[in-house]
Every structure is written in structure tokens, then in C-alpha cells.
């Protein structure tokens, strides 16, 4: 029997942190060996088991990322904030620990830094860890390559009211897939300000926020007298947690480099 995967979990008090704690507790193939949250969080010092209505785990929430690495994890699963992600990635590189980055809202500069750090350690960076959205990205690329002249692409997303970044990292990744299919640079064609007439070739984004929506994304191809819509609806964030654990067990076996969820699912 192989030893369980040792996971360090920053953002343990967050929505995704709690989801991963709950899933990992029910899975013999992995264990959470250390947890942390933002300095000043009211959850510091709490046991991650009792915090999630599970048996006592013996792992308490620390305010110091050093505690994550002291526990000698195989992998860090990060669903926090862009600033925390970059600092954790730098520490992971110096401790030679693999990483799953699920945090969204990273800037282009953050992305460059992450890629640079990934030359020293294996990192999976994915704005959406669900199997369905990963497949949706491939479909969008194929359809965008076929529907070129006279077809307008719009991306619509909805999320719960606590989400900070917009458009979602998933919407941007779907925009990248559409732009790749059309062989154009997304930055040159993305349209966020919708005042004025639409320009040919634009890829437009619309955002809705409210309630407890786990995540809904539609990529709509508007033609003349017809419309093709590709939609993914997440009804529970458990799908992101499962995908993150799958990515974690995969990345722990890889060489240094920056990988995507597509790579995880390809194996």
C-alpha cells in the first residue's frame, strides 16, 4: 500500500479550504498534515476537523505559512488570494514542494512570476478544477476555430455574491480558449466595457453576482439567424474540491514545470 499523499492547506478556513478538508477526511489516499489561514483570522488555533463538523484531526489552523512546510508536505493546495499564492509559491519553490494553484484573479505579472517559480517545482495552475469546465474549454476552442466570419462570441458568467474577481478566472480561460481557436490574442479582442457598438472579432464578457451560485459559464456564438450556446453549471463546489485533490495526487508525481488541468485529465 502506498503512503497517503501529505497535503498542506493554506486558506483552510475559506469555502474551498473547508471543502478540501471534508473531502480529504473521507479519502484514505490523502491526509492534511498542516493548515493555515490569514494572520488575524478568527479561525486561527482551531482544529480543522472540529471546524468542519468532523472528528478531531490534530491539525490546527496556523497563521504562519512556515508551519505548512515544517510538516513536510508532498503538495500544497492553494485556494487563497493572489498575494498569498505568490508568497506561498516562492516558499514552495525554496522547499521543493509541488503545488496546486486554484486561486483566481492573478494578474499577468503574477502569472509570469508563477511560471518562473514553476521552473523549480511542479505546479498545476487552473482557474477551474472541474472536469466539465476543462472539457468545455476544449470544445470552445474547436467551435471558435470553425465559426469565424459573422459569428460573435460572448461569455457570460454567474457566481455567488462573495466572489471578488471579475470576470471569473474560468471566464477568462474560456476567452483564451476561444481566442486560441481563432488564432488571435485575447488581450487585443476582449471587450469588458459594453457601451458603443460591438466591433467585429470582439470576445465580450458579462458578469453576474448573487446568492450562492457555485459557478455558471456560457460561451455563446451568435450567428445570423442562429445561435450556439455551450454552458457549464456547477451546482456544488464539491466538483472543484474533487478536481483539486485529483490534481494534487497527479502533480506530486511530475517533474518541475507549469501544468494545466488539461494535463491532469490527459493521464
Ligand X SMILES: NC(=O)c1ccc[n+]([C@@H]2O[C@H](COP(=O)([O-])OP(=O)(O)OC[C@H]3O[C@@H](n4cnc5c(N)ncnc54)[C@H](OP(=O)(O)O)[C@@H]3O)[C@@H](O)[C@H]2O)c1
Active site members: 159, 163
What residues have CB less than 8 Å from 49, skipping those under 6 apart?
Answer: 21, 25, 55, 56, 57, 58, 59
Instruction: Give the nearer residue to ligand X in terms of CB position, either 171 or 219.
Output: 171
* 22 belongs to the binding site for ligand X (CB under 6 A): no
* 84 belongs to the binding site for ligand X (CB under 6 A): yes
Instruction: Give the nearer residue to ligand X in terms of CB position, either 124 or 190.
Output: 124
The strand order across the sheet containing 257-259 reads 61-62, 30-36, 5-9, 75-78, 98-101, 122-125, 257-259
Residue 186's SS3 state is helix
The distance of closest approach from Cβ of residue 239 to ligand X in the complex, given in angstroms and rounded to an integer, is: 8
Task: Please identify the residue of the shown chain whose CB is closest to the bound ligand X.
Answer: 14
The distance of closest approach from Cβ of residue 237 to ligand X in the complex, given in angstroms and rounded to an integer, is: 6
* 104 belongs to the binding site for ligand X (CB under 6 A): yes
Q: Given candidates 23, 25, 38, 222, which one binds ligand X under the rule CB under 6 A?
A: 38
What residues does 152 pair with on adjacent strands?
222
Q: How many other C-beta atoms are found inside a 10 Å radius of the C-beta of residue 9?
A: 30
Taking the CA of residue 76 as centre, how many other CA atoms within 13 Å lie in the half-sphere pointing to its CB? 36
The distance of closest approach from Cβ of residue 179 to ligand X in the complex, given in angstroms and rounded to an integer, is: 20
Give the burial string for 186-208 (b: 16+ CB within 10 Å, else e): beebbbeeeeeeeeebbbbbbbe
How is residue 243 written as a grid cell? 478536481
The distance of closest approach from Cβ of residue 194 to ligand X in the complex, given in angstroms and rounded to an integer, is: 23
Instruction: Give the nearer residue to ligand X in terms of CB position, either 61 or 153.
Output: 61
Query: What is the C-alpha separation between 59 and 174, in angstroms, rounded?
Result: 37
Q: Given candidates 23, 27, 31, 41, which one binds ligand X under the rule CB under 6 A?
A: 41
Region 215-254 residues binding ligand X, contact defined as CB under 6 A:
237, 240
* 176 belongs to the binding site for ligand X (CB under 6 A): no
* 137 belongs to the binding site for ligand X (CB under 6 A): no
Q: Given candidates 8, 16, 60, 143, which one binds ligand X under the rule CB under 6 A?
A: 16
* 151 belongs to the binding site for ligand X (CB under 6 A): no
List phi, psi (to 5°) of 127. -70, -15
Which stretches of the chain bind ligand X, using CB under 6 A?
A: 10-11, 13-17, 36-38, 41, 79-81, 84, 102-105, 126-129, 237, 240
Amino acid at each position: 500500500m502506498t503512503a497517503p499523499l501529505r497535503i498542506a492547506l493554506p486558506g483552510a478556513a475559506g469555502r474551498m479550504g473547508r471543502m478540501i478538508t471534508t473531502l480529504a477526511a473521507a479519502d484514505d489516499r490523502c491526509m492534511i498534515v498542516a493548515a493555515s489561514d490569514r494572520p488575524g483570522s478568527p479561525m486561527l488555533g482551531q482544529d480543522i476537523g472540529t471546524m468542519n463538523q468532523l472528528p478531531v484531526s490534530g491539525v490546527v489552523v496556523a497563521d504562519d505559512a512556515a508551519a505548512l512546510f515544517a510538516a513536510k508536505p508532498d503538495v500544497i493546495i492553494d485556494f487563497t488570494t493572489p498575494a498569498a499564492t505568490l508568497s506561498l509559491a516562492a516558499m514552495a519553490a525554496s522547499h521543493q514542494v509541488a503545488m496546486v494553484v486554484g486561486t483566481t484573479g492573478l494578474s499577468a505579472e503574477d502569472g509570469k512570476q508563477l511560471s518562473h517559480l514553476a521552473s523549480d517545482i511542479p505546479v498545476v495552475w487552473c482557474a477551474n478544477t472541474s472536469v466539465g469546465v476543462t472539457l468545455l474549454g476544449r470544445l470552445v476552442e474547436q467551435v471558435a476555430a470553425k465559426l469565424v466570419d459573422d459569428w460573435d462570441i460572448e461569455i457570460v458568467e454567474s457566481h455567488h455574491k462573495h466572489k471578488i474577481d471579475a470576470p471569473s478566472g474560468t471566464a477568462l480561460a474560456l476567452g483564451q480558449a476561444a481566442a486560441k481557436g481563432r488564432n488571435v490574442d485575447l488581450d487585443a479582442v476582449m471587450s469588458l466595457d459594453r457601451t458603443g457598438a460591438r466591433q467585429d472579432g470582439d470576445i465580450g464578457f458579462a458578469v453576474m453576482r448573487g446568492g450562492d451560485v457555485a459557478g455558471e459559464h456560457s460561451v455563446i456564438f451568435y450567428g445570423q439567424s442562429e445561435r450556439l450556446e455551450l454552458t457549464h453549471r456547477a451546482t456544488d463546489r464539491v466538483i472543484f474540491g474533487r478536481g483539486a485533490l485529483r490534481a494534487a495526487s497527479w502533480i506530486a508525481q511530475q517533474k518541475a514545470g507549469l501544468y494545466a488541468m488539461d494535463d491532469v485529465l490527459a493521464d
